[in-house]
Structure 1
Amino acid sequence: MNKKIKQKIIKFLENKNLIFEENKIIVEKSRNFGDYSSNIALIFAKKNKIEPLNLAKEIKDFLLLEGLDLEKIEIAAPGFLNFFVSKNEYSKIIKNIIEKDENFGRANLGKKINIEFVSANPTGFLHLGHLRSAIIGDILANIIEFSGNFVLREYYINDFGNQIDRLVVSVFSRYQQIFKDFPLPEDAYFGEDIVWAAKKFFEIYDNKFENSNLSDPETYKTFREKSVEFFLNEIKVDLQNLSIKFDKFSSESELFSSKKVQKNLGKLLFVYKKEGATWLQTSKFGDQKDRVLIKNTGEFTYFSSDIAYHLEKINDNFQPNFLINVWGADHIGYVDRIKSALKIVNYDQKLNILLYQLVKLVKNGKEFKMSKRKGQTFTIKDLLEVVNVDAIRYFISERSYNSLVEFDVELAGAIDVQNPLFLIQYAHARGSKLLANSPLNIEKLSPFNGESQTVLISKLKQFEEIVLKIAKNYKINLLNKYLLELANLFNSFYSNSKILGNENTNNLLCLTKAVVIVLRNGLKLLGIKAKERI
């Protein structure tokens, strides 16, 4: 309703040829002065040399003729407008929610969007840092898709370069230690996941490579392919256990083997040679300095394949309108680099990058630190053993992506009102139980009365706005916040209302039905089960 009122105010101002700034027209929810209020008359009166109260009266008279579902409009000195929504409007909202059911909140934005997330190197198991990327990307994809966009979920496999070489050396060394004392290189990966991979390799090949070394092409090739395969398969298992799906897995090594890196670099202007290396003049397009594409040894840099990868995504058959990359905050220095490269080919406006902060795991009041290098990684597999997937998805997504997440294992597993997810699921279960054997009829809705009812209905209506807002600003935590507020309102309403055996029972059951629908739709976007009972 506030949007409708705002649109009509704009129409009035335009019809009267008054001076105004659209971004300053605010019609906000009010609990003390009608359902909505606005100070628009105060803001624009002076610019247009009109007394605020006179301008407010003109706006009021105009709006009352515009067919809005308003019971009345009151003017308060020195020029406030207070809007009272017709009680019939609340009935229309409830009927609309129930009729649309699982489609309530959907929009029809119609864009094509590629979302790349997780993209962890296949050099070990997924850990908590990867977990946040996975949850952010998946929920964001759900919401953007629900808003009527076409979404391609993509995972970029970094299976080329120094990190893969280090993986091969690490797994090979652990494999050799099965048979004899064998030194582990200083720059090897020390995690237990590497020991796991070596044992898995032994299960397949036994002692076939006991006396081999990595200078042998067959040995290196076998260890490389199998090590990447082992970890990529485990990554996919972890993602599946988190209820996360991908439409496409792209490979960095495939970009090289198919010559796509060379082909895409050939499209770039502002390339020059210096000291035997090939450089890209990114400093001309917003980067701090120019970047090397090909070293003087002839080796391609990671930057060169990353440029090629982004150009491949943009020119893919999917033909996205724009890209979203979900990266860790440690990649902040890389943002200008890749955007400047895309700016050279006029594609920089197609890329949005979200930089998320890390996850700090708290257990028994103490931080549990992660470090793959020292073999102390707390993996997603570990976390799934102590916390269920619904709790993981909720608590990882409840904070803004640019804020640190302090994941409290005890709170996430608590079955009490201190746990926000419990409160939301409890509200859904309460409503579902009430509706199980209670028939309702939306055709027999009467006007809603009582503040607890109208406030709850106004909150239900906001679901559409929240979904659209997130689809545009990517702040998925707004959905968690909204669902918790809705659950608290409903739990209060439920505890303080006699729903059955009341002359307004049908209205209250329809209201409950609408709450259950919105909670269920919201939880589904978060990838969380809406419980029928607790």
Structure 2
Amino acid sequence: MNIYNDLHSIIIQIANKLGLKDRYILDKITSEPPKEKSYGDISTNLALIGSKILNKTPHNLADEIIKELLKLKIVSKALVAGPGFINLHLEDKVWHECCKYALDKKSDYGKNELGKNKKVNIEFVSANPTGPMHIGHARGAVYGDSLANILCFSGYEVTREYYINDSGEQVNNLARSVYKRYLEILTNKKLDFENDLYPGEYLIPIAKKIIKKYDNKFSDKSEPVWIDRFKRISINHIMDYIKKDLSNLGIKHDIFISEKSLISSNSIDKVVNILRNKNLIYEGELEPPKGKKINNWEIRKQLLFKSSHFGDDVDRPLTKSDGSWTYFASDAAYHYEKCNRKFSTLINIWGADHGGYVKRIRGVVQAVSESQIDFDVKLCQLVNIVKDGKPVKMSKREGNFISLKSVVDTVGPDVLRFIMLTRKNDASLDFDIKKVTESSNENPVYYVQYAHARIKSLHKKASIEGIKDIDFVNDPNFSLLKNTSEINLMKLVATWPRVIELAAKSHEPHRITYFLTDIASEFHYLWTLGNSREELRYIIPKDKELTIARLSLAETVRTVISSGLQLIGVKPLEVLK
């Protein structure tokens, strides 16, 4: 039951009756809660959209629409506002029925079939296997996993995927860095690490593992002898570490795809041939980037993809100066391979530094799929770690970073997951370790969990008064709830299915945490009112019918809070320590 979808369907029927039948026009009609509560419960732009086509003024057309809307028993009032918006006020019985439906559906309340028969691939995390995950990786990890949960709840078949960048110079440098540690241990001498190497101490256990198996076998050997072995051992070790970190955060990928395997399977040649046959590849020259001074820029013939055809600034090279494939070529092959797996939508969760990469990959997906596959990229801005009131600077290259494991060990996975979704992905996020562990209303995690725990405590108090849990679902009389805050709570419960659908359609899991904060706030406000006004308390010993109505409302609130927390991978707490 989604009252907003139901009303939108009625409004579309009215539009049809008025003569509006073109799908392009109908898709522009909106029916959504207005920004200001005083404006009503639902606002529609039908009169504004239809006025030009029907050759009527928006206000005159609105009057006709309102006559139709007032025939509905659930509409108590309809008013024209501004240039022609129609604001609807609904009867309270609408919210009563929504809450009864929520009580009946329990944890399935809000579940929908938006993605029925649709396959979605979400590629997220994909941290380079050059070191352990740090706190900056957590944002994309939580975002991708929470989005996957929301899409599954909305009926999609979801594949969680991790792309391992196990080819190229960065993993060569990883192997060289491990080799340095290997020599340091064998010779007991400290060595210098060049700028491109990784000096982090996290490489020492890998070097020790190699020594345990091979002793000093490679200490006097040239790089070609040991580098492939060191790469394989190092990558496997670090990927095991990454998987363990993700598991501690409650995240498990379905598939791990290796860049190296794509190269060895000739997938790059395949996608290049396809793009060439579509006349999207040519031999050309690239000028130096505008506004940048690059020393020793070489203007040369190279293989280029016509990414400018897809909105990119310039065409992009597929080959390096030595004739080998670029990272972009490998990524093109990877997305070609994903397209072959018959997904209806591909979603990539990337770091903000990949923003300039989006258009070229979108171009590849559009080209190889004949525009049949939806492609969406969500860029996650930086996480700023604050410690003792000061920002902490991090660099994996320098070995100076706060590991994901240390943060999870300090604050727990649930706190970390919730905080990572307290801001929209395109806004930077401050993570203050001290504040997120405080037991105060300023801590959003505590605030929401406290609402859930408070409601669970009501069950115990109710049992003392002889009211059992089963009484909550025996057709409570919600019409007894007249206070504005009680009605606001019912409206928020009714909004939950819409929130889930919007989060699924927009690929924005932060909508869940925003909603949880809102409904927890309204619940706490009503609780506080009961502290000063006895007639507003949840349990009124002398009025069992009213008590059951309030406890039933609280139970619907608990249901959506519990459901929302689980969708973002957080365990609802029954008792706060």
Q: TM-score, structure 2 length as denominator?
A: 0.84
Cα distance, 1:147 vs structure 2: 1.1
Q: How does 1:393-404 map to 2 (within 5 A)?
A: 393-404=417-428
The equivalent of 1:312 in structure 2 is 337
1:89 aligned to which of 94, 110, 127: 94
Task: Name the residue aligned to 2:103.
Answer: 98
Partner deviation per Cα, 1:317-373 (whole Å, 9 max, x = no partner):
xx2101011111111121122223334334565321111111110010000110112
Query: Which of 276, 293, 297 lines up with 2:318 in the alignment?
Result: 293
Counterpart CA distance in 1 for 2:238 and 2:51 is 66
Cα shift readout 1:207-237 (whole Å, capped 9, x = no counterpart):
23363334353x2232111101110000000
| 1:207 matched to 2:215 | yes
The runs of 5 or more residues in structure 1 that have no matched partner are none
Structure 1 position 514 matched with structure 2 position 545? no
1:271 counterpart = 2:281: yes
In the other structure, the counterpart of 2:296 is none
When residues 347 and 383 of structure 1 are mapped into structure 2, their CA distance, relative to the original with a 3 A threshold, is farther
Moved more, 369-378 or 174-183: 174-183
Distance 2:80 2:413 in 1: 51
Determine whether 1:422 maps to 2:431.
no
The 3 A distance-change label for structure 1 pair 162 and 462 is same
Is the contact made by 2:112 and 2:153 (CA closer than 8 Å) also made in structure 1?
Answer: yes
Residue 360 of structure 1: SS of its match in structure 2?
Answer: strand
Name the structure 2 match of 1:73.
Answer: 77
Offset of 1:296 from its aligned partner?
A: 5.1
Are 1:242 and 1:389, in contact at CA under 8 Å, matched by a contact in 2? yes
2:291 maps to none
Equivalence for 1:379: 403
Separation of aligned partners in 1, 2:559 and 2:355: 40
> Aligned letter for 1:205?
K
When the two structures are aligned, how many residues end up with a matched partner?
A: 528
For structure 2, list consecutive stretches of 5 or more residues without a partner in the other structure. Answer: 285-299, 531-535
Q: Is this contact kept in 2: 1:19–1:44, CA < 8 A? A: no
Following the alignment from structure 2 to structure 1, what is the Cα–Cα distance between the partners of residues 231 and 48? 70
For the 8 Å contact 1:5–1:27, the answer to whether it is kept is no
Could you say which residue in structure 1 is the equivalent of 2:156? 149
Q: Counterpart of 1:17 in structure 2: which amino acid?
A: G
- Within the alignment, does 1:366 sit opposite 2:390 as a pair? yes
C-alpha separation in 2, matches of 1:124 and 1:18? 59
Query: CA RMSD for the aligned pairs?
Result: 2.8
Give the CA deviation at 1:19.
11
Between the aligned partners of 1:279 and 1:39, the Cα distance in structure 2 is 47
Task: Report the more deviating stretch, 12-21 or 107-116.
Answer: 12-21
Asked if the contact 1:41/1:80 (under 8 Å) is kept, the reply is: yes
- State how far apart, in whole Å, the 2-side matches of 1:354 and 1:331 are: 10
Describe the superposition over 1:117-163 as per-residue Cα deviations: whole angstroms up to 9, x where unpaired.
01011110111221111111111111111111111000001111101
Give the Cα separation in 2 of the matches to 1:55 and 1:462: 28
- Asked if the contact 2:384–2:431 (Cα under 8 Å) also holds between the matched residues in 1, the reply is yes
| Aligned-pair identity (%) | 34
Secondary structure at 1:373 match in 2: coil
Provide the residue aligned with 1:462 in structure 2: 495
Q: C-alpha separation between the residues in 2 aligned to 1:80 and 1:335?
A: 37
Residues 1:299 and 1:51: Cα distance change in structure 2 (over 3 Å)? closer
Q: 1:424 to 1:303 in 2, by over 3 A?
A: same
Equivalent of 2:243 in 227, 232, 236: 236
Q: Secondary structure at the match of 1:156?
A: strand
- Alignment correspondent of 1:168: 175
SS in 1 for 2:571: coil
Does residue 1:225 correspond to 2:232, yes or no? Answer: yes
Q: Which residue of 1 aligns with 2:197?
A: 188
1:159 counterpart letter in structure 2: D
Q: Which residue of 2 aligns with 1:354?
A: 378
Aligned partners of 1:366, 1:278: CA distance in 2, in Å? 47
- The residue that corresponds to 1:474 in the other structure is 507
Matched, 1:489 2:522: yes
Decide which moves more: 299-308 or 271-280.
271-280
